[in-house]
Structure 1
Amino acid sequence: MKVLILAAGQGKRMKSKIPKVAHKILDKPMINWVIDVAKEITDEIGIVLGNGKDLVKELLDENVKIFEQKERLGTGHAVLCAEQFLDDNDILILYGDVPFISYHTLNTLVEKHLKDDNSSTILSVRLEDPTGYGRIIKNEDKFVKIVEEKDANPSEKQIKEVYTGIAVYKGEQLKKALHHITPQNAQGEYYLTDVFEHMEKVGVVELENEIEVMGINDRIQLAEAEKKIRKEILKKHMLNGVTIQDPDSTYISADVSIGPDTIIYPQTFIYGKTTIGEDCEIGPLTRIKDCIIEDKVKIIRSECELSRIQKNVSIGPFSRLREGTELQENVKIGNFVETKKTKISCNSKAQHLTYLGDTYVGKDVNVGAGTITCNYDGKKKNKTFIDDGAFIGSNTSLVAPVNVGKNSLIGAGSVITKDVPDNALALARSHQINKENWVLKRNSENVEKGV
């Protein structure tokens, strides 16, 4: 089995310099929704590109075979542009702007195709308003042909069952049929739908959930599509034991996994391939992307990306975990703390106004308010190592590369530029000078001067 995805359309109604299939739904490009479901069917995936092909290429895996449709002469012509991809394997054709088709539906379609030994098997759906879709013409429930909207007569336009564009074919028969179609129609294009008239046996599988075949042609449809699929995703999580306090303000992408008894508070955005364990509390006002979060984690009003968070960790409010952050069990990250490429070990805490970049923090470490790891020297990033049990006083600057020893203590306000030994007290600040009665003398002098 092969999969060919048609994604060469200009997408004029999007009114965008970005190709239509590169627009995002729940922070994931439209084309990647289709690619991901295709991967569940086969490793042999091809795609036909046209408008903005270079931008779309950047979104694709290296093993996806790319073909180009230089002229927009219809869907049949698009498939012909990938003729070398067609062989004696069955081939499933999908569309880059129909992102919500499910593996279950495609698997049902393929199984029907193989079981009935069809030349082609079409996926259809019944719509209350079928305007714009090709109508499926039948004779006593047997497929006859597909008539496109612009070529349909008034009687045919009353038919509710329409062609979704998705179908599976015997590769060699499709290849031969493509050379028999002509552009003799209202659009002057080579319709892929015309190949069915040259197929020996065509079957039809009717889809129940029309959301799966929603096409997207403009930004209104893009917003409507996201709203509908978001509702489906949230429903799935709630039925699996996740509490979502306000579905209207919660955004969770399709690849996210959440354990039971986790609570998602309002204004929360969870994207990418994030996994969240059981008994967590996420939000409100929180954004998470591509993170691994274990059980009993609390994240409030914070941002986390490309990070790993172990059990019983507390984050926020107003924390920012950037890529490469790893928090081990019982860590506490508080308000206005930012981390990047940093590992913080068990039972350590940085609770106020801190930046930790390119840093290792050992167990049972206290990082005081206002601490900064100065990791960039203007040319390269340098690392800071803080060993177990260290106490970093407030308003400390650790100028990397630097090592802070086990159970050492750094006095508040220090600028540390040299390694600190185990069990040492480090102070790096000027001596305090108190000048008694200085203010009174200054005021007296100002009076004499008439100031």
Structure 2
Amino acid sequence: MVAVAILAAGRGTRMKSNLPKVLHTLGGRSLVQRVLDSCHLINPSRQLVIIGYEGEQVKQCLQSIPSLEFVEQREQLGTGHAIQQLLPHLQDFDGDLFVLNGDAPLLRPETLQNLLHIHKTNQNAATLLTAHLPNPKGYGRVFCDNNNLVTQIVEDRDCNAAQKKNHRVNGGIYCFNWPQLAQVLPKLSPNNDQKEYYLTDVVQYLNPVMAVDVEDYLEINGINDRQQLSAANDIMQDRIKNRWMAAGVTMIDPDSITIDDTVKLEVDVIIEPQTHLRGNSVIGAGSRIGPGSLIENSQIGQNVTVLYSVITDSEVASGCRIGPYTHLRGEAKIKEACRIGNFVEIKKSEVGQKSNVAHLSYLGDAILGEQVNVGAGTITANYDGVNKHPTIIGNRTKTGANSVFVAPVTLGEEVTVAAGSVVTNDVPNQALVIARQRQRIIEDWKNKIQQK
């Protein structure tokens, strides 16, 4: 059996934020969520998150993860003190315990799987993930013999000049035999410069303890400030984009593109510059997104073009053309082969197949049938100051330029709406509706005004 404990109690003062450090986001997920996600290949039977500063916020963020256990560390007295809080919670547990940092979001699942394999194969009491850093400043140094058995771990602040020349560092990722660790945790003492209980001090009581070097040292990068968060985002983006390009996605100027790793892309998608894909979005095969577009938590069908537009929480079916400067939001649903064009906003509305809303229109709380043509400047006046009301427009209806539909109102099929109409009552099928004041012409008006 394997258990995982995530250290997530600290505030992270260098982040200069009221938000707990582990709740800052990277690629659409919180740092602590990413650490938990990295554990799926080791298949833990128990997952414990050690919380402290703003612990309720951390609980709220992670409430959707089933069977997650929370352990409170009321005083933050070091990593050893944090793991001591597990003693009453793991009294009957006799498996292996992973200890991970909630602010180290770049770990690959395969790295933890390899660490567990080596730990079990060698029957270690403890196995540490280590890395050789070009600049190890700030990291505890790990000293090993020729068999990678750990002889000593010294925190950076406690290293002397000779010890600081060692570039093998402690990544803060551990796999312990829990029964052996539980026996030595009470022996820890705060006899160091910081007056904290260091988890690394258990090395002197456990045997054998082995170091495993990670292939990519960037995986152990922790997040302590906004600059490090930005650097981690660059690393994450490189991983995501390289993976999708290898899977058949074309990216024009990848450096200007950002993609959350929750996004799914199909083959032959083309992502143009300055495009950003967020959340649980799906882009269908052959679609061309951008330049200059934002898509968030939306489903885009196959062979869709989206140009200089924003789409959030919406669905666009295959064969549609969106933009430039279209805004779809609030569960807008655009059916197949539609054209949604220049400076159009659609909110919580459904547009039927082969319909066109080409320019300068707002549709809110509306249902449009198939082959509807919406003239320029058409607006559904859906809000009466208190409630929202629906507008229903039947198949093959055509609205004239600058039409206004004062909801609730229903137009039948094959209706023609004269330009400039303000429609307040329902309209039957195949009717022409003219809802505007009759034009008046006063001849010679200019001269009459001048004479007065």
Give TM class, smaller chain: over 0.9
**What letter corresponds to residue 13 of structure 1 in structure 2?**
R
| CA 168–401 in structure 1, closer or farther in 2 if over 3 Å, else same | farther
**1:289 Cα deviation from its structure 2 partner:** 1.2
Local SS of the residue matching 1:381? coil
- Structure 2: segments with no counterpart, 5+ residues: none
**1:112 Cα deviation from its structure 2 partner:** 2.8
The Cα offsets for residues 314-351 of structure 1, whole Å up to 9 and x where unpaired, read as 11111111131222211111111112222222111111
Local SS of the residue matching 1:32? helix
| CA 279–202 in structure 1, closer or farther in 2 if over 3 Å, else same | same
Partner of 1:250: 257
**1:52 Cα deviation from its structure 2 partner:** 3.0
Answering whether residue 105 of structure 2 is matched by residue 99 of structure 1, we say yes
Aligned partners of 1:354, 1:137: CA distance in 2, in Å?
A: 68
Aligned partners of 1:178, 1:128: CA distance in 2, in Å?
A: 32
Superposition pairs of residues 217-296 of structure 1, within 5 angstroms: 217-296=224-303
Local SS of the residue matching 1:4? strand
| CA 355–205 in structure 1, closer or farther in 2 if over 3 Å, else same | same
Superposition pairs of residues 167-182 of structure 1, within 5 angstroms: 167-182=174-189
**What letter corresponds to residue 385 of structure 1 in structure 2?**
I
The Cα offsets for residues 208-262 of structure 1, whole Å up to 9 and x where unpaired, read as 1122211111122222222222223222222222222212211112222222322
**What letter corresponds to residue 314 of structure 2 in structure 1?**
S
Q: 1:93, 1:166 within 8 Å by CA — same for their partners in 2?
A: yes
- Structure 1: segments with no counterpart, 5+ residues: 446-451
**What letter corresponds to residue 23 of structure 1 in structure 2?**
H
Structure-1-length-normalised TM-score: 0.92
Q: Mean alpha-carbon deviation: is it higher for 228-237 or for 333-342?
A: 228-237
**1:42 Cα deviation from its structure 2 partner:** 4.0
Aligned partners of 1:443, 1:133: CA distance in 2, in Å?
A: 88
Partner of 1:110: 116
Local SS of the residue matching 1:157? helix
Q: 2:330, 2:347 within 8 Å by CA — same for their partners in 1?
A: yes
Q: 1:374, 1:400 within 8 Å by CA — same for their partners in 2?
A: yes
Partner of 1:65: 69
Aligned partners of 1:364, 1:45: CA distance in 2, in Å?
A: 53
Answering whether residue 203 of structure 2 is matched by residue 196 of structure 1, we say yes
Aligned partners of 1:175, 1:321: CA distance in 2, in Å?
A: 55
Aligned partners of 2:301, 2:89: CA distance in 1, in Å?
A: 44
Q: 1:46, 1:85 within 8 Å by CA — same for their partners in 2?
A: no
The Cα offsets for residues 63-122 of structure 1, whole Å up to 9 and x where unpaired, read as 332232221100111222344443234332221211111112122222333343333322
Q: Mean alpha-carbon deviation: is it higher for 234-243 or for 326-335?
A: 234-243
Local SS of the residue matching 1:58? helix
Answering whether residue 10 of structure 2 is matched by residue 9 of structure 1, we say yes
Local SS of the residue matching 1:56? helix
Q: 2:144, 2:211 within 8 Å by CA — same for their partners in 1?
A: no
Q: Residue 128 of structure 2 is aligned with which of 122, 127, 131? A: 122
Superposition pairs of residues 40-51 of structure 1, within 5 angstroms: 41-42=43-44, 44-51=46-53
Partner of 1:449: none
**1:162 Cα deviation from its structure 2 partner:** 1.5
**What letter corresponds to residue 285 of structure 1 in structure 2?**
G
**What letter corresponds to residue 103 of structure 2 in structure 1?**
D
Answering whether residue 153 of structure 2 is matched by residue 146 of structure 1, we say yes
Aligned partners of 1:76, 1:108: CA distance in 2, in Å?
A: 24
Q: Mean alpha-carbon deviation: is it higher for 134-143 or for 93-102?
A: 134-143
Aligned partners of 2:392, 2:37: CA distance in 1, in Å?
A: 40
Aligned partners of 1:91, 1:401: CA distance in 2, in Å?
A: 61
Q: Residue 54 of structure 2 is aligned with which of 43, 52, 58? A: 52
Local SS of the residue matching 1:373? strand
Local SS of the residue matching 2:179? helix
Identity of aligned residues (%): 39
Q: Mean alpha-carbon deviation: is it higher for 397-406 or for 71-80?
A: 397-406
Answering whether residue 33 of structure 2 is matched by residue 32 of structure 1, we say yes
Q: Residue 192 of structure 2 is aligned with which of 185, 190, 194? A: 185
**1:352 Cα deviation from its structure 2 partner:** 0.9
The Cα offsets for residues 242-296 of structure 1, whole Å up to 9 and x where unpaired, read as 2222122111122222223222111111111222122221111111111222221
**1:39 Cα deviation from its structure 2 partner:** 5.1
**1:170 Cα deviation from its structure 2 partner:** 2.9
Aligned partners of 2:40, 2:414: CA distance in 1, in Å?
A: 51
Aligned partners of 2:337, 2:27: CA distance in 1, in Å?
A: 31
| CA 3–421 in structure 1, closer or farther in 2 if over 3 Å, else same | farther
Q: 1:211, 1:229 within 8 Å by CA — same for their partners in 2?
A: no
Aligned partners of 2:331, 2:88: CA distance in 1, in Å?
A: 43
**What letter corresponds to residue 78 of structure 1 in structure 2?**
A
